[in-house]
Amino acid sequence: GNSVTQMEGPVTLSEEAFLTINCTYTATGYPSLFWYVQYPGEGLQLLLKATKADDKGSNKGFEATYRKETTSFHLEKGSVQVSDSAVYFCALIGSGYALNFGKGTSLLVTP
Amino acid sequence: GAVVSQHPSWVICKSGTSVKIECRSLDFQATTMFWYRQFPKQSLMLMATSNEGSKATYEQGVEKDKFLINHASLTLSTLTVTSAHPEDSSFYICSADSWETGGDYNEQFFGPGTRLTVL
């Protein structure tokens, strides 16, 4: 079946540091890949997505590249801000509508 | 952007009682709504998928008689936890998607979640 594995947090960074959150997946076929973000007290929001191999999703300074050869979709940002503090979820959709989520990675950015 | 609300945001109930959680799409019509359950420091687990006017499709291991889902309109789905017990305490999250968003993927829009505590 489909599954997503992402690095465990919490991750604590200083403002302007470089961020990487690793995500690998197992799926049959060619899934679509997503990063969702959950800010405190809010619902999950789609951060970025990639629907085929070598696609790069980007939004708000975050990037992730769909790497089929390594079955990975690592999230990166060159310079994090305090406002980026949130929980980040890697997810995939295989066949059908169901999203398979990773366990989430909590990020805390300190001034 | 599309907004999904949930009510209540948190609820505490006694063991054996039933609790209803509402999920509404506020500014769009939802073709499909989803109910997830999230345990602390765990992933979101899909419980069921519902389409307006039809019976929900439950994931393996989810008791459909315990978690009643009704999707009576294109903007409202309800999850009723019947005869709740402490092990049902969890964070319940709904999402809704819409053909209006188009493209190669119907984006799911998530509600803020409902914290259920069963005493």
d(CA B1, CA B16): 39
pLDDT, tens digit, for every residue of A50-95?
A: 999 999 999 999 999 999 999 999 999 999 999 999 999 999 987 6
- Give the residue from B6, B10, B31, B41 with the most A CB atoms within 10 Å of its CB, the best one to mutate: B41
The reply to whether residue B44 touches residue A99, judged by beta carbons under 8 angstroms, is: yes
Half-sphere exposure of residue B70, counting CA atoms within 13 Å on the CB side?
7
- Note whether A109 and A15 are within 8 A (CB): yes
Q: Are B93 and A43 in contact (CB under 8 A)?
A: yes
| Among candidate residues A13, A4, A8, the one with its CA nearest the CA of residue A85 | A13
Burial environment of residue B20 by CB neighbours within 10 A (0 to 12, 13 to 18, 19 or more): middle
Asked whether the beta carbons of residue B105 and residue A103 sit closer than 8 angstroms, the reply is no
- A69's CB contacts (< 8 A; 6+ apart) are none
| pLDDT value of residue A43 | 82
Tokens representing A62 are: 């975050």
Q: Which of B7, B44, B114 to mutate to test the interface with A (most CBs of A within 10 A)?
A: B44
Of the candidates A4, A44, A98, which has its C-beta nearest B110's C-beta? A44
Tens of pLDDT, residue by residue over B44-66, are 899 999 988 888 999 999 999 99
pLDDT in tens, B78-102: 999 999 999 999 999 999 987 655 5
pLDDT for the residue numbered B102: 53
Percent of chain A with pLDDT over 90: 74
Residues 6+ apart with CB under 8 A from B55: none
Q: Do B43 and A46 touch (CB under 8 A)?
A: no
Chains A, B: CB contacts within 8 A come to 47
Token couple for B21: 């959680």
Residue A64 in tokens:
């992730």
Q: Residue B101: its pLDDT value, please?
A: 52
Q: In this structure, are residues B110 and B94 in contact, taking their beta carbons and an 8 Å threshold?
A: yes
A32/B42 CB distance under 8 A: no
H or E, element range at B82: none
Task: Quote the pLDDT of residue B104.
Answer: 52
Question: Tens of pLDDT along A57-66?
Answer: 999 999 999 9
Q: Which residues of chain B neighbour A66 with C-beta distances below 8 Å? A: none
Residue A105 burial (C-beta neighbours within 10 Å; 0-12, 13-18, 19+): buried
Nearest C-alpha in B relative to A31: B105
Mean pLDDT taken over chain B: 89
Quick one: pLDDT at residue A5?
95
Q: What pairs with residue B96 in β-bridges?
A: B33, B109
Residue B105 has a pLDDT of: 57
Q: Is there a contact between B110 and A41 if contact means CB atoms under 8 Å apart?
A: no
pLDDT, tens only, B2-20:
889 999 999 999 999 999 9
Query: What pLDDT does residue A41 have?
Result: 77
